[in-house]
Structure 1
Amino acid sequence: MAATFELELVSPEKLLLSRPVEMATIPAWEGDMGILPGHSPMVVALKGGIIRVRENGAETERLFVMGGFAEITPERVTVLADEATPVTELSRAEAESRLSEAEAALTAAAAEPEAVRDRVMDRLLAARAMRDAASAA
């Protein structure tokens, strides 16, 4: 049996996943990160994207997150997601609606301070990633 680590994925609504896995790929702001047992400890910010879970040598689950944080230790990865949904449950119509709202919010925030525009841009990028994930599902 391959080495494993405990993966927990928590959203504000519920605990979505808690079990040993061989590998997880998370959408960190610095780029997608592959995590294996024994990974160096760190905390990373997540962007909107897909968490891929590997068990028994195969990808077993794909979950879309709108952002959040991941705490990584050699034995455990805890993902605190702003929002998380299995990719198979994503709706392209919902994603398009969120993208339209985010685009309108970005236009409305043109005169706002840079920190406000950055948060709105993060939401826009997450909505685009959601639309892309829903289209590929």
Structure 2
Amino acid sequence: MATFDLELVSPERLLLSRPVEMAVIPAYEGEMGVLPGHAPMIVALRGGVIRVTEGGRETESLFIMGGFAEITPGRVTVLADEATPLASLSRTTAAQRVTEAEAALAAAANDAPEIRDRASDRLMAARAMQDAAQAA
């Protein structure tokens, strides 16, 4: 089966760099499946799970807090704000992040719209992390 190169980079390190058959990424517009030969684009990513398929089966699942993906016909590069293997997510940490994000959003109630939007994005990512941690 045809493959493309997938690279997943976080600020701390390179997490993944290998040929894969398919990747499903959490784009802001919704879940997006990427196959070899995909049309070139750059997409913003929300908090969610990246699922990697190799050999006809899902081989890897990683939670990202957001970021960007550059897609070309032969390569996908994901620049994640933060990335964690799904099996390593902690329910306690996720719940704490939701609490902190809710407090930050409440504190930003009278701030500029851009600040409120960033706080809202953080809350949505924290809730997605909590959902992923409970499902793992």
Pair 1:4 & 2:3 matched: yes
Which residue is 2:103 aligned to?
A: 104
Q: Which residue is equivalent to 2:19?
A: 20
Partner of 1:76: 75
The CA deviation at 1:75 is: 0.3
State the Cα deviation string for residues 69-122 of structure 1 (Å, max 9, x = none).
000000000000000000000000000000000000011000001110000000
Q: CA deviation at 1:136?
A: 0.3
Partner Cα distance (1:133, 1:31) in 2:
16
Q: What corresponds to 2:93 in structure 1?
A: 94
Q: TM-score, normalised by structure 2?
A: 1.00
Structure 1 unpaired stretches of 5+: none
Percent identity over the alignment is 72
Partner SS state of residue 37, structure 1: coil
Partner in structure 1 of residue 33 of structure 2: 34
Q: Which residue of the partner structure matches residue 63 of structure 2?
A: 64
Deviation at 1:63, TM superposition (A): 0.3
Counterpart CA distance in 1 for 2:109 and 2:23 is 37
2:102 maps to a residue whose letter is: E
Instruction: In structure 2, list runs of 5 or more residues that go unmatched.
Output: none
Structure-2 separation of matches of 1:27 and 1:82: 13
Counterpart residue number, 2:134: 135
User: For residues 7 and 92 of structure 1, what CA distance do their matches in structure 2 show?
Assistant: 28
Report the TM-score when normalising by structure 1: 0.99
Q: Distance in 2 between matches of 1:20 and 1:65?
A: 20
CA RMSD of aligned residues (A): 0.3
Q: Which amino acid aligns with 2:91?
A: R
